[in-house]
Structure 1
Amino acid sequence: MTEPKSVRSGRRAALRYLAFPLVAGLLAACSRKPVFKGTDISGSSLTMTVALTDDTGRRRTLADFRGKVVAVFLGYTRCPDVCPTTMGELKLAMQQLGQQADLVQVLFVTVDPEHDTLPVLARWVTGFDPRFLGLRGTQEELKALASQLKVYYGRTGKTGDDIMHNGNVFLFDRHGAIRVLEEMGANSTTLAADIRELLKED
């Protein structure tokens, strides 16, 4: 028995009505804008193209970690407060991420290459998490990196043992683009939340 034309038209209208929320939801998902707890610096000119030496002796660039979210922190192993505290928060963030932590690479760049030899770096960074990598460069390479990230560092005091440095953590997405600036003092909950946001992206 053939359905009346009015019934067929009503059914098509109902299907269109039901399909609309699904299509709208898919479009919203595709255009979803991440919400970060740190400062969103997507599209910034800040970058990191300088090659540095990791604590195993291998030359590294940011491109080596494509496919992972990368957290970059500049400091030095003898730092009495900010550096161990920040590295501790990054360690806790990795724990909070669970299995997703395997898609994250934490890079600690020393601004004290005279003291922070590769063995010193290796012992220090792996003491927080065996997946962390320490990076070391020449003074020229460090100056180039500091210029690219717009950060500062320099020795203070008569003995030169103390080094003033920027305490921010920079988050790069899995394509190597800088996305988030975490202010000095950012805790593990903030770090983990922003890393999760980046991991949601393709």
Structure 2
Amino acid sequence: MTTHRVHFLAALAGLLLLGAGGTASAQSTITCESRNGQYQSCSANTSGGVTLSRQLSSQGCWQGDTWGYDRNRVWVTRGCRAEFRVGGTSSSGNNTGAKVAGALVLGAIVAAAIANKNDDRDDHYDNGYNDGWGNGREIRCESNDGRYTRCATVDRRQHVEIRRQLSNQQCIYGRNWGVDDRQLWVDDGCRAIFVAY
């Protein structure tokens, strides 16, 4: 999927969420910057999700590759510098339909962004599997009984992705798996074989 397609989906999500009446925004914007290509994490309330609102660097910012988030922080690496919209929303009135529509569109954006590794290479994801661009180091990481589990230390320069999903529970980056302080973690029943390269 191309960068233009991801940007189109992001714009569409913005329009849908702006048009979804009855939701009072409690979001804020933070700036997180990778200086000299170094990994950097920025404390943030990510309970309501994170979206990239404005890229500041000439180096590309791709979710799941050069930026991402976990329970309480946004991280950037390899020169990505950007402003991110973080935080949740507070409801007023009946806005269940708006929330569902927004969640579906944002889910599509997350999936598209993860698939978009860079602007000149298409991804080959299929239900959590990938065709791979090299062997890398395989790491088996399992959240048994829905428990939060840390599995392995990952070099900050390495990229981590799912090679084979083992659980019926879908593994979604930033929701039930990720890399926090160089530690690969899983939660909420995600079990998979990951690859770091």
Instruction: Tell me if both proteins adopt one fold, taking TM over 0.5 as the criterion.
Output: no
Structure scoring higher RCO (CA < 8 A, sep ≥ 6) equals: 1
TM-score, normalised to structure 1's length?
0.23
Query: What is the TM-score with the length of structure 2 in the denominator?
Result: 0.23
Q: Flag the structure with larger Rg.
A: 1
